[in-house]
Amino acid sequence: MTYDYDLFVIGAGSGGLAASKRAASYGAKVAIAEYDLVGGTCVIRGCVPKKLMVYASHFPSLFESAGGYGWKVGDAELDWEKFITSIDNEVRRLSALHINFLERAGVELIQSRASLVDEHTIEVDGRKVTADKILIAVGGTPSLPNIPGIEYGITSNDIFHLKEQPKHITIIGAGYIGTEFACIMRGLGCEVTQIMRGDMILKDFDQDIRTGIQEGMINHGIRIIKNTVITSVEKLSEGLGLKLNLSGEQQEPINTDVLLVATGRAPNVKGLGLDKAGVKIVPSTVEGHGYGIMNAIIVDEYSQTNIPHIFAVGDVTDRINLTPVAIGEGRAFADSEYGDIRRVFSHEDVATAVFTQPEAATVGLTEAEANEKFGSDKIKIYRTRFRPMFYTLPQQEERTMMKLIVHSETDKVLGAHMVGDYAAEIVQGVAIAVKMGATKKDFDATVGIHPSAAEEFVTMR
């Protein structure tokens, strides 16, 4: 049978872009559909605009530090409108750049929503087209808990477009997004309250990372309300914001200007027509207090669904929801299907960072995971905690924590974790060593760069 395309990609985010360009480079006839700005979550409403906000949020602390070094810094004020507009301009510039990259690669861009009609047919831009293979790379979307009045809140999709800077923002959720934005908005000068169901942020991260960040957040003036849920949201009179009714440790209602709902993201499968093509998904579940896990597409190690010629990569599969992982999965798919290079993308020892204040980064096993896998008697922990030299003259109480988890029988470094300035930049290099299977002796034999914080990773005893 003759098809209109060798490959049709639904979703022009990180995974879809990487896969389409790589497949086209092997000679495949490729089309990609996207109804929003090209670039996906990372470029439009995730990594890029968020990191720009992170940079902006650091300036007040830097102004304070400058005083300790003898600089006289006058009154500083954030022009919110200019700030938000500048971020939006950069997002649109990058989106246009990605469109140009697609054109250069010979990929046809169809700027329209697409859905499956059957195993080989896609409805897009008011017409039906066929493809030999289909790749689904539509990413995720914010998941809202079933709470009365939750529609008065905003999500991470909306926070980059706030017309005015809120005086008080309340955040529900203790994962990546909620914790990062709590630190961002506090750094930008807002009063910040973070409400969480449990007693600590960043579930599944190493305990020392969780503790280090949470202590730092509290020291920076973020109010953290633990073991508490929002039972309902009420809109107050015009200009008076919202009233949040609570249950748990904290039961006194909170008034806030803005409520950021950061209770997770779900695979963006709605309206894709997966049932028409017979693509299987993980059934959705609903947890207490209206939280839920939604419908990820089931794939094997080659990102193949139960339908042999339909594939899925990135957050829609809910494996490791990180931009570089989606890119890696997309390229591995293209290599395997069009490049005659059959390969699997490895999801082991994937480094990641949390751009909080203080920042954190991690690679490999947590202490709890290592103890469970090998037994606590087979694990040796190396840990250091100190105030970096930068903060000595300003006398600011910022702390850095570094930690290595070592298998005592093989001396192999199983995990590396850091909380502190430039954690992402430092752990990126350490991740190479961990991925290669470096031992603690290899770390010890490496000469440190002095004076630097990073040298602590090779001097811990």
What's the distance, Cα to Cα, between the start and end of the chain in Å?
Answer: 65
Q: Helix, strand, or coil here: 91?
A: helix
Nearest to 259 by CA among 173, 377, 183: 173
Distances (CA, A) of 141 to 36, 158, 204, 267, 273: 13, 12, 21, 6, 17
The DSSP H or E segment spanning 436 is helix 423-436
Concatenated DSSP letters for 45-73? HSHHHHHHHHHHHHHHHHHHHHHHTT---
Euclidean distance between CA atoms 277 and 165, whole angstroms: 45
Burial of 389 from C-beta contacts in 10 A (0-12 / 13-18 / 19+): exposed
Sign of torsion, CA 81 84 88 89? positive
Euclidean distance between CA atoms 183 and 301, whole angstroms: 36
Euclidean distance between CA atoms 135 and 116, whole angstroms: 11
The residues annotated with a catalytic role in the active site are 450
Residue position matching structure tokens 């470094």: 413
Euclidean distance between CA atoms 124 and 117, whole angstroms: 10
Helix then strand then coil, % of the chain, to nearest 5:
35, 25, 40
Residue 215 region, left (φ>0) first, then alpha (ψ -120 to 50), else beta? alpha
Asked whether 294 and 272 are in contact (CB, 8 A), the reply is no
Nearest to 209 by CA among 55, 48, 383: 383
Distances (CA, A) of 158 to 161, 162, 359, 407, 461: 6, 7, 23, 44, 47
Nearest to 206 by CA among 407, 401, 453: 401
Euclidean distance between CA atoms 26 and 59, whole angstroms: 46
Euclidean distance between CA atoms 121 and 31, whole angstroms: 13
